[in-house]
Structure 1
Amino acid sequence: MTGDLILLIVVVLTALSFDFTNGFHDTANAMATSIATGALKPKIAVGLSAILNFVGAFLSLKVAATIATGIVNSGAITLTVVFAGLVGGLAWNLVTWYYGIPSSSSHALIGGVVGATLLASGVSAVKGGGLVSHVIIPAILAPIAAIVVATIGTYLVYVLTRKVNENTRAKGFKIGQIGSASLVSLAHGTNDAQKTMGIITLALIANGTITQSAGTPFWVIICSATAIAAGTYIGGWRVIRTLGKGLTDIETPQGFAAEASSATVILTSTHFGFPLSTTQVCTGSVIGAGLGKRLAEVRWGVAARMGVAWLITLPAAALVGAIAFGVAQLIGGTLGVIVVFAAAVIFAALLYLASRKTAVTSKNVNDEWVGRGTPTQIGTPV
């Protein structure tokens, strides 16, 4: 087996590992509000979300094309650069999962790749226009749009149903939430699974396995869809806890409005090929759901801490990506990549073992949300 083939296999495995963490990190996007309101039981929610994430991955390839060709100059990219970028995104995903922070897997991945590319080939290899138009501007506008849409939607929901008996309204919107949460999961699959597809496609182009115009191979689509679905089924209970109860107390009409708003914004962005942060969109929708209900409380301290995490995601992941590339290059060749890969595996294992001491499961999340416990504050290992 040649060194290039070994290197390509390591890159693909790392990409699918990132995709898996994306799944369990972002389960909260689709299902936290439905679990919080009792519309879906925790395990049923993540199982349904896993299936729909898998299906959604096959609905579009526009985001994959943007990641593969729209952010960095593919001609200047090597397998080592792609690998280092993935390590940057993966490390940030794991750290924010450990602390229960709903950060952006998308921006972590893009940041890691940009950081590694900058160190490897300089500023000229990064498509600044594409980065601004496809990543930074949507990152600013999407959560704002989600807040506005969810605020208006929540207000209208309560106004239009003000004469409906409260119990009847709650039951009706619980049923509605099953549909709206499912739509968010489907939208998540169409947007987030494609990012891994795009990265693997970029690696295949860099290796000379396929041409730049060849598109995404079908086996890449299958593997990416499976990895994100498996991660979703495991369930990121730490992040679910924060997003479902940390920002505001959600009632069923609010949950329905938040989920419908999230799905609308995500699907619109996917249509235009923007690699959107579904986390930021869903968080914006939850905040909007709090603002749209009279006398509802939005915990702005929690929102502010999440905002800080969003701001540092791109540069933090870029720094890790650059360090990973530098170490791999210092050692040299395939051996350098394998050493960094081994270090990443050890880091992930240590973080996992630390998390097991205070594990968050579907059972204790459910117990908390029916009144038998108190959700832990964001930023504290739970």
Structure 2
Amino acid sequence: MAVEPLAAVITLLAVLLAYVNGFHDASNAVSTTITTRALRERTALGMAALLNLFGALLGIGLVTISSTWAFERMGLGHITAGVDTPGPVLLWIILAGVLVTILWDLITWWMGMPSSSWHALFAGVGGASLVLGWDADWPTIARSSLLPTAFAPLLGAAAAYATMQLISRMLTSDRLRSGHLRFAQTVSAGLVATAHGLQDALIPMAVIVAVATTSPMPGAVLASAPYTVAIAIALGTLMGGHRIIRTLGSRLTDLTTPQGFSAEAATATLMGLVSLGMGLPVSSSHSIAAGIMGAGLARGPRALRLPVVRRILAVWLATPFACFGMGLIIARLAQTSIGI
């Protein structure tokens, strides 16, 4: 079965997106363990890669793969309702969303700033849909991006702050030793890596399934997609986004082992409760950064470097607007050059 060229390109870009996502978000699991020397850098990245691989396969295995699921995951469920064969315009909307997500991940990596791939995808799809005359599922996009953006970092910061306060009291009373915390931090980092793979592997997987619905492809491609996506995320994680690791590990605050464990434990708990319990994508980048802020704040306001905090928050606020504009521009270029 021949695959339409555009569909083949998007499928390959979805695999690239999985790799870039792993590369960009490696810091979410390992920045604290590397900085506090709980694990050596290569050991931490290797552990995170394996657990991202496991989490990706587990996450894809837990969902019911279907065209409806794929389109809803991308914020396109509403526009495909009642449409038997989505037109080629939909492929261009998907292409724009994938390109925007890859570009934004690379831009924010270069800046050393944590950001959300989910939010970039939703915004890019929304911008492209507007240009190409489709009505995106704005309620789903708002529920899946705006609500987690508004509340997840606050919850993560509060949980890390409370955990840090508890640990400080236990250390003072000699009920907890630093060696115990290093082991606990390794476990919590593993949980964050697993949760990241479990959730973020669904982005490229949804893209591939949506493309297959729009333009049929060989069954072998779909059958191997979960493994291809999982391996790509793991390889990207193994490379490590060192710029963001430095931002979270040393530029945001002088990270200690108790802070690292508090941030990671809060992140893993939050992602598990909201992502698995409520079915909403929670940005691991937002959660770990907010957790580090909350844990740092527990040591006093001066423990945080406010200029770095402001830059991170500015990137988070800019993500939906910048990616919406990028999606709009990409779709407009396609419209004027190809005439779609």
Partner residue of 1:11? Answer: 10
Does 2:255 match 1:250? yes
Question: Conserved in 1, the CA contact under 8 Å of 2:59 and 2:201?
Answer: no
CA-to-aligned-CA distance 1:71-112 (integer Å, 9 cap, x gap): 122356621211111111111111111111112222112221
Partner residue of 1:82? Answer: 94
Structure 1 Cα separation of the partners of residues 57 and 239 of structure 2: 21
1:184 Cα shift?
0.4
Does 2:114 match 1:102? yes
CA-to-aligned-CA distance 1:221-270 (integer Å, 9 cap, x gap): 11111111111001100110101111111111111111111001112222
TM-score (norm 2): 0.89
CA-to-aligned-CA distance 1:351-374 (integer Å, 9 cap, x gap): xxxxxxxxxxxxxxxxxxxxxxxx
1:292 Cα shift?
2.1
Partner residue of 2:280? Answer: 274
Structure 2 Cα separation of the partners of residues 63 and 44 of structure 1: 34
How many residues are treated as equivalent by the alignment? 325
Structure 2 Cα separation of the partners of residues 320 and 208 of structure 1: 28
Does 2:333 match 1:332? no
Structure 1 Cα separation of the partners of residues 71 and 241 of structure 2: 27
Question: Conserved in 2, the CA contact under 8 Å of 1:112 and 1:321?
Answer: yes
Amino acid at match of 1:49: A
1:208 Cα shift?
4.6
Alignment gaps of 5+ in structure 2: none
Partner residue of 2:125? Answer: 113
CA-to-aligned-CA distance 1:262-308 (integer Å, 9 cap, x gap): 00111222212212211001111101111223576011221111111
Structure 2 Cα separation of the partners of residues 84 and 134 of structure 1: 19
Does 2:40 match 1:37? no
Question: Conserved in 2, the CA contact under 8 Å of 1:63 and 1:191?
Answer: no
TM-score (norm 1): 0.79
Partner residue of 1:139? Answer: 149
Does 2:72 match 1:69? yes
Structure 2 Cα separation of the partners of residues 194 and 330 of structure 1: 32
Partner residue of 1:341? Answer: none
Amino acid at match of 2:308: V
Moved more, 128-137 or 234-243: 128-137
Structure 1 Cα separation of the partners of residues 146 and 64 of structure 2: 15
Question: Conserved in 2, the CA contact under 8 Å of 1:63 and 1:198?
Answer: no
Partner residue of 1:357? Answer: none
Amino acid at match of 2:72: T
Structure 2 Cα separation of the partners of residues 279 and 241 of structure 1: 14
The equivalences for 1:212-231 within 5 A come to: 217-231=222-236
Partner residue of 2:178? Answer: 170
Q: 1:180 aligns with which of 177, 182, 188?
A: 188
Partner residue of 1:379? Answer: none
Partner residue of 2:103? Answer: 91
1:59 Cα shift?
2.1
The RMSD of aligned alpha carbons is 2.4
Question: Conserved in 1, the CA contact under 8 Å of 2:59 and 2:197?
Answer: no
Alignment gaps of 5+ in structure 1: 337-382
Question: Conserved in 1, the CA contact under 8 Å of 2:132 and 2:335?
Answer: no
Poorly superposed stretches of 4+, deviation over 6 Å: none
Structure 2 Cα separation of the partners of residues 153 and 228 of structure 1: 30
Structure 2 Cα separation of the partners of residues 225 and 257 of structure 1: 28
Percent identical among aligned pairs is 34
